[in-house]
Chain A
């Protein structure tokens, strides 16, 4: 919202010494955020009117001219390439020192005396956009033509264009709870309270006759329209508004239309009360404020046909709706050049209703913006009187036809709230004297009565009593902000005697990241929680079990993920452009629809390893990563099982699951299903994937590791290599060795698997390192040889042939 300093001065005596930037800061700190202060004259400093006396060709450039330009006392040469340049033309001249934007773009630069292609140039002849003006009629190569004004050369442009106002831009969001601040009158009242400047109460002087013709109004629904004021004004001459009004409207971001429409916009901007004017000739019978009928239609002012519903409030005459109440007027009763008689409407509409109607029709107007904040019904009366005053001022022949119609049903009892002074101090954290609390509230137009010691009965002014101030906390805010948040001393609360519960899951999440990133070499990615039908299809998933978004931003963000993998595959696809080896993981939630209101949210770790070309090792790399995770947190009782369930994107046989004692799948490791790989155009790569249910994993027992006695006696390593059936599982072979002597065999580690040359096609050569050690003695060579023989025998029972025996 834009607020003009010039306009504010109608209602509050701001001294000339008040720096507007400081005022903006004060408002920001005490009321609402002033986003910017715009000094209209700022862009026009050192820019004056000039007249082109003579145009000479530039000796070194075809497109440029030397314009001998009068800038008042002297005539100077200026190099210019404007397409519309001609002798005698009045132009805007930026003198050396002026700040301009080249072609209206970039940061402003300070102009200097210079030479252009060898010719002296004293300043610059400007296009509108170069000096911050907007002139749609100007061509792209044109310069600003001031010939219609014929200003005296040398006159500052600020004077010619009357650009001397200062405009504050308020952040609308920070005014959400302040319906009273949506116009100059309210802001002036606020400044008066904060700065103690004199407030000038508005008292419209228009004489309203006590007899004559009045609008007949019927309100069918007082809940949605607690007050409706109407007034007929005849003998209207619709024409352009006076320049002072246009200037103020333009400064505050409004377009201008004609004197009647401009008056309603002027009132909106001045008082924050939206108004509407109907052409009386098009209103049949009385004004009826009612809900729209089913399937009723209206053509709005912006020429759009809108279908209404029974929930929406309309202003209607005998035949038809003529406006959507508080939202937008109808085209059928619009003010036009032939209008001679008008009905002015100044009403109060229910905030929620206006808001609902506005959003279901998709129409947002200045009126909606104000009504939806809950306006004070008392404002409607002031506004209609002020409008009458203005219309009579700018259209002196106009005649008010009769008394104001004022139909109303709203609570006029002032709102009273008890304020506990002690509680106020305790919440703000400052010992503000009771007297100061009283002063602050009284300055803001609250009335105070001391009910008992330290309890004030506070009467809320009507313009603050609509939703804004409802309870004690709201009053405490008033006191705190005016007292000054900067005066609240910084202090720390004492530590609680009861210490907080530790969030071990969070803690372990960070440790997990360290494990995956800093130990295992994975990069952590973040993905959206959504994917689309294409991703579902590409991963061979079903839509079933997914939560779907009702409103979504794009087709690839329509479903909530039930697995992290589809997005991780997209990450792979993106990154293969730059990397041949990728190790990534994500820790995030999945969302599963299970038929109850709340879906199940589980935290998962999803990861993938990608390598270019054929590679079978990556499955084991992925498996190793998952095993390291188990080891890191010492998770117990996890069984490795071949195969995988409910994972359509996994290779059916190159996959394993890790299951806990309750049958819950803790993790899955697999090679990506070839179809899924093709769907993602990753045919040239080998991809292993893991999924780890972080939530479930952390439920498992994580016992503290117990120390094992270090043996005093040296151990012995023997290497055993065996050629055996390809289908024989490593796990089985290893256990066969281990079980040969549980006491002496400490560890059996696989170190090689070989298939190929010199090995029969259905066989593989497997090599293990076997560590032998006795707790109570140094083992003899004979003992070692004995165990070795036993191992050989057991392996041979499995069908193995010992190599090098």
Chain B
């Protein structure tokens, strides 16, 4: 009996090793361990054994049963994972089909840049101000040291509003720059002051690929007891460096804007060629970028700030132009066209 069990164990284990698939294994399992299986039959015969043999054979047959069950389980797992492996290799799955996009809209490129500009200046302690777009001649010109008949008014071809005007404010215009908000801010908050004013401006000039009657500017103003051109340079260099995420240098040139003195034209080192000269910077290494300068005494006076105690600087640059430069947009009119084939690109 003992031998019979041993032989059975050996025979079964060999067969299990040979089994090639789950089906075969299942058949084997039935053959040996099933209700009418070989081992089951033996176990059933136990009751006929002599009393003294019963415990020994009983123990042995249980051991054999466990061994075989374990063997079947192991083989089963092996065959199953082999099957998955095989499946994994067999199945064709094309990963090159384009991703399915969830439908989202697009934010206008000027808005996006404006937010970045606001964020950078906020980090440097600048408040963001706002002012009216339909503005009085006083705030747009006189208050900024641009009297009537001043040649500088030529630089700012102006839209006028019909039938509006009084002694105090003059006629009503669409602001030609964001600078009027300088005075409004000074009047409201006094010194010291550290603000930027991004906003929509208007010029009465013929429209072409690089000129539009509507455009966006960012004005900056800092007024304090001691602040200098050095600080202006520092803030602008820091701003541009953060904006372009690479070091940018600033160059000052004399320029003329009636509301600043000294007046400056500000160039920055070309971010494309790093100053070596390329098409974008017209081979100068510098990109003409903005007007700036120390706030004119008369402007501080207009804003009600004591020019003996305080001094300040201001700058203004074209957000529209910067947007165009950034995305290499070659026609300014696209920005106000409402053309979705354009907007959807950003």
Give the residue of A427, A498, A598 whose beta carbon is less than 8 angstroms from that of B134.
Answer: A598
Cβ contacts under 8 Å, A429 to chain B: 228-231
Residues A567 and B132 in contact in the complex (CB < 8 Å), given A493-B222, A495-B125, A551-B160:
no
CB atoms of A551 and B159 under 8 A apart: yes
B250 interfacial by beta-carbon distance below 8 Å: yes
Instruction: Tell me which residues from 543 to 583 in chain A have a Cβ below 8 Å from any Cβ of chain B.
Output: 547-553, 557, 560, 567-568, 570-571, 574-575, 578-579, 582-583
- Cβ of B108 within 8 Å of any chain A Cβ, yes or no, is yes
Which B-chain residue is minimally distant from A177 (CB atoms)?
Answer: B256
Residues of A within 8 A of B230 (CB): 428-430, 488-491
Question: Which residues of chain A in 469-522 are interfacial with respect to chain B, using CB atoms and an 8 Å cutoff?
Answer: 471, 473-474, 476-477, 480-481, 485-486, 488-493, 495-496, 498-503, 505-506, 510, 513-514, 516-522
Interface residues of A in 143-177 (CB under 8 A from B): 173-177
Contact of A523 with B by CB under 8 A = yes
CA distance A584 to B343 in the complex (A): 10
Chain A residues within an 8 Å CB radius of B222: 493
Closest to A591 in B: B134
Q: Is A30 an interface residue (CB 8 A)?
A: yes
B343 in contact with A550 (CB, 8 Å): no
Task: Tell me, yes or no, whether A589 is within 8 Å of chain B by CB.
Answer: yes
Identify the interface centre among A33, A427, A548, A591: most chain B CB within 10 Å of its CB.
Answer: A427
User: Hey, which chain A residues are within 8 Å of B294, CB to CB?
Assistant: 427, 473, 476
A523 touches B106 (CB 8 A): yes
Q: A474-B261, A524-B108, A547-B164 are in contact. Are A427 and B228 (CB under 8 A)?
A: yes
Is B289 interfacial (CB-CB < 8 Å)? no
Contact B111 A510 (CB under 8 A): yes
Task: Say yes or no: is A264 at the interface (Cβ < 8 Å to chain B).
Answer: no
- Contact indicator A488/B133 (Cβ below 8 Å): no
User: Is A428's CB under 8 angstroms from B228's CB?
Assistant: yes
Q: How far is the CA of A496 from the CA of B224 in the complex (A)?
A: 9
Selected from A480, A506, A525, A579, the residue in CB contact (under 8 A) with B118 is: A506
Q: A493-B231, A523-B344, A529-B202 are in contact. Are A547 and B162 (CB under 8 A)?
A: yes
**Contact A477–B262 (Cβ < 8 Å):** yes
Quote the shortest CB–CB distance from A496 to chain B (angstroms).
6
Q: Please measure, in the bound complex, the distance between the C-alpha atom of A582 and the C-alpha atom of B343, giving whole angstroms.
A: 12
For A578, give its contact among B126, B213, B341 (CB under 8 Å): B341
**A526-B338 contact, Cβ under 8 Å, with A427-B294, A496-B194, A499-B125:** yes
Contact indicator A551/B238 (Cβ below 8 Å) = no
Taking the closest CB of chain A, its distance from the CB of B197, in whole angstroms, is 10
Inside 8 A of A486's CB, which chain B residues have their CB?
251-252
Shortest A640–chain B CB gap in Å is 25
Known contacts: A427-B294, A490-B250, A506-B118. The answer to whether A473 contacts B129 by CB under 8 A is no
Q: Which residues of A contact B169 (CB under 8 A)?
A: 597
**CB 8 Å contact bits of B137-173 with A (1 = contact, 0 = none):** 0000000000011011001000111111010010010
Residues of A within 8 A of B130 (CB): 503, 505-506
Say whether A601 faces chain B, with CB atoms less than 8 Å apart: yes
Is residue A426 contacting chain B, with contact meaning CB distance below 8 A?
A: yes
- From A471, A491, A550, A557, B231 is in contact (CB under 8 Å) with A491
Q: Which residue of chain A lies nearest to B311 when distances are taken between CB atoms in the complex? A: A427
A28 at the interface (CB under 8 A from B): yes
Given A355-B149, A429-B229, are A490 and B343 also a contact pair (CB < 8 Å)?
no
Task: State the Cβ distance, B116 to closest chain A Cβ, in Å.
Answer: 10
CB <8 Å contact, B340 and A579:
yes
Within the complex, the shortest CB–CB distance from A114 to chain B, in Å, comes to 28
For B341, the chain A residues whose CB sits under 8 A away are 575, 578
Q: Whose C-beta in chain B lies nearest to the C-beta of A492?
A: B234
Q: B233 at interface (Cβ–Cβ under 8 A)?
A: yes
Q: In the complex, what residues of B have CB within 8 A of residue A500's CB?
A: 122, 125-127, 194-195
In contact, B105 and A583 (Cβ under 8 angstroms)? yes
List, in ascending order, chain B residues with CB within 8 A of A428's CB: 228-230
> Shortest distance in angstroms between B312's beta carbon and chain A's nearest beta carbon?
10
Does B104 lie within 8 Å of A481, measured CB to CB?
A: no
Contact with B along A416-438 (1 / 0, CB 8 A): 00000000001111100000000
The residues of B that contact A373 with a CB separation of less than 8 Å are 151
- What is the CB-to-nearest-CB distance from A503 to chain B, in angstroms, rounded to a whole number? 4
Bound-state Cα–Cα, A783 to B155, Å: 80
Taken together as a complex, chains A and B put the C-alpha atoms of A522 and B340 apart, in Å, by 11
Contact of B338 among A501, A510, A525 (CB under 8 A): A525
Enumerate chain A residues within 8 angstroms of B261, measured Cβ to Cβ: 471, 473-474, 476-477
Quick check: is B177 within 8 A (CB to CB) of the other chain? Answer: no
Question: Is A549 a contact partner of B161 (Cβ separation < 8 A)?
Answer: yes
Q: Is the CB of B254 within 8 A of A481?
A: yes
| A250 interface contact, C-beta 8 A | no
Residue pair A528, B254 in contact (C-beta under 8 Å): no
Contacts of A525 in B (CB 8 A): 108, 338, 340, 343
Whether A29 pairs with B229 at a CB distance below 8 angstroms is: no
A550 cross-chain contacts in B, Cβ below 8 A: 159-162
Does A591 lie within 8 Å of B133, measured CB to CB? yes
Chain A hits for B234, CB < 8 A? 490-493
What CA separation (Å) do A344 and B125 show in the bound complex?
62
| Among A502, A549, A587, contact of B159 (Cβ-Cβ < 8 Å) | A549
* B303 vs chain A, min Cβ distance (A): 15
304-337 of chain B: CB within 8 A of chain A:
311, 335-337
Interface presence of B176 (CB below 8 A): no
Is A83 an interface residue, CB under 8 A from the partner? no
0 or 1 for each of B222-245: is its CB under 8 Å from A? (1 = yes): 101011111101110110000000
Residue B136 lies at the interface, judged by CB distance under 8 Å to chain A = yes
A206 within 8 A of B: no
A175 to B134 CA separation, bound complex (whole angstroms): 30
Enumerate chain A residues within 8 angstroms of B237, measured Cβ to Cβ: 490
When chains A and B are docked, how far (Å) is the Cα of A28 from the Cα of B285? 14
Give every chain B residue within 8 A of A549 (Cβ-Cβ).
159-162, 174
Contact partners of A430 in chain B: CB under 8 A = 228, 230
Q: Considering the chains assembled together, what is the distance between the CA atoms of A167 and B11 in angstroms?
A: 109
Q: How far is the CB of A702 from chain B (nearest CB, A)?
A: 19
A372 within 8 A of B: yes
Also in contact, A567 and B195, with CB within 8 A (given A176-B152, A429-B228, A517-B105):
no
Q: A365 near B: Cβ within 8 Å?
A: no
Q: How far is the CA of A88 from the CA of B230 in the complex (A)?
A: 68
A760 and B258 alpha carbons, distance in the complex (Å): 77
Interface string of A368-404 (1 = CB under 8 A from B): 0000110000000000000000000000000000000
- Give the chain B neighbours of A510 by CB distance below 8 A: 111, 115, 118
Identify B297's interface contact among A471, A492, A570, CB under 8 A. Answer: A471
Q: How far is the CB of A689 from chain B (nearest CB, A)?
A: 15
Inter-chain contacts of A32 with B (CB < 8 A): 254
Q: How far is the CA of A527 from the CA of B337 in the complex (A)?
A: 7
> Which residues in B have their C-beta under 8 angstroms from that of A427?
228-229, 294, 311
Distance in Å: Cβ of B329 to nearest Cβ of chain A: 13
CB distance from A29 to the nearest CB of B (A): 5
The answer to the question of A204 belonging to the interface, with a C-beta cut-off of 8 Å to chain B, is: no
**Chain B residues closer than 8 Å to A557, beta-carbon distance:** 213
* Interchain CA distance A529-B133 in the complex, whole Å: 10
A356 lies within 8 A of chain B by Cβ:
yes
B278 at the interface (CB under 8 A from A): no
For A521, the chain B residues whose CB sits under 8 A away are 103-105
A551→B204 contact, CB < 8 A: yes
Complex Cα–Cα for A31 and B132 (A): 35
19 contacts between A and B (CB under 8 A): A352-B148, A477-B263, A485-B264, A492-B238, A493-B224, A496-B194, A500-B122, A500-B127, A500-B195, A518-B104, A521-B104, A525-B343, A529-B214, A547-B162, A548-B163, A549-B174, A574-B338, A575-B341, A597-B166
The 7 closest A-B pairs by CB, nearest first: A429-B228, A429-B230, A500-B127, A477-B262, A571-B338, A485-B252, A352-B149
6 further interface pairs, Cβ-Cβ under 8 Å (given A480-B229, A526-B110, A578-B340): A426-B226, A427-B228, A491-B234, A496-B224, A553-B207, A570-B338
